[in-house]
Structure 1
């Protein structure tokens, strides 16, 4: 095990040395070109954000009918649509989470549509369970989140859990691990911390010893 750890450390050190060497080899013109490229990328991103905001991104809004749904999908590459009914309490839970995610993920349009106003669309998409969240990318339905089954089967799921599930359809930008749900990731981190504490325990416990006679 020590050999493996040592080998991994050596490989990481070698990669770091190579990267430092590459950066040291750059002359002023190279650095300026990189700087200008970065500035251009930032400007393009800022422009894109303004365009997104102009067509309704950044807010969780209700659309009135099927025609508006298709208009939204034509304007935005990434769309999250909550098909709801007013008499379904779980829809209000979804609303709460999507309001937060809409503000966080400007790159995606978040909307809701009363399923009763869209009989053709819900029939075409085979939506039978409410709430259902449709995940659309470049005008194609990539996935559906049906009820709360994929969210742990419970009403008190976290916003992070819904974010992770949406990200698996590639309709939002996500930096986490798509293979591990946030709830499992937290458990793994907690176990790692507990394991470290257990390993350090005997050494750290000296202060609790009573040497008095």
Structure 2
């Protein structure tokens, strides 16, 4: 015997004639409702989930949502706006600012909560200082959440000795965390931007994607040279 609840044309005719009882309606569960809402959202967003949409895309869909979806829609939009505000607050620098002695307290000691400050003390006629200035300009654009500053030594710290240049002071929330003083800290004109980025990342100033130090340390180079010399000596002994 055919199923009286089956959705067939014959059963529909029998129901209309009163021969078969009305079809039993399936109870809609909470899971069914959630599934229906999710399917509707997917259809209206052309297969793109709300949590994958940008704020502009969410705004474009505003007129398409009905009352049932409004709460979900608003939650996603508020989340996107909060994320954009947070990113905007962090990325508020992006360049190197020149300061003088009178700016020091405001720009460095009172930089604010959660702010890293990198200050380069330099002189224009020192080649290594020019190189460091170029590096921090590039890093300022790469890490706009960090405040990069520079100041001519005679303007920032009167009577500061040239032998200490270049100098980099690193502050966090107004407290000094690290200082790099003098050319020996940088290793000469071969000092690279990646090396500076790595050194700042070790302090926590920047979040680098570099996976290892860009250059071997002096001790590593010396160890390698000693090992090679030892091997050469052994080879010479074997020749005899």
CA shift digits 1:67-95 (9 cap, x unpaired): 30211121351111001123322111111
Aligned length: 147
- Please tell me whether the aligned partners of residues 164 and 183 of structure 2 are also in contact (alpha carbons under 8 angstroms): no
Question: 1:118 & 1:150 partners in 2: Cα distance?
Answer: 21
Alignment of 1:57-136 (within 5 A): 57-65=93-101, 67-73=102-108, 74-76=110-112, 77-119=115-157, 129-136=164-171
Gaps of 5+ in 1: 1-26, 185-213
Gaps of 5+ in 2: 1-34, 39-50, 52-71, 217-240
Partner residue of 2:25? none
Partner residue of 2:213? 181
Residues 1:137 and 2:172 aligned together:
yes
**Pair 116,48 (structure 1): closer, same or farther in 2 beyond 3 Å:** same
Q: TM-score, normalised by structure 2?
A: 0.51
Greater helix share, structure number: 1
**Pair 37,170 (structure 1): closer, same or farther in 2 beyond 3 Å:** farther
Structure index of larger Rg: 2
Residue 108 of structure 1: CA displacement? 0.6
Question: 1:96 & 1:121 partners in 2: Cα distance?
Answer: 25
Select which of 78, 83, 99 maps to 1:42.
83
**RCO higher in 1 or 2 (8 Å CA, sep ≥ 6)?**
1
Q: TM-score, normalised by structure 1?
A: 0.57
Question: 2:78 & 2:194 partners in 1: Cα distance?
Answer: 33
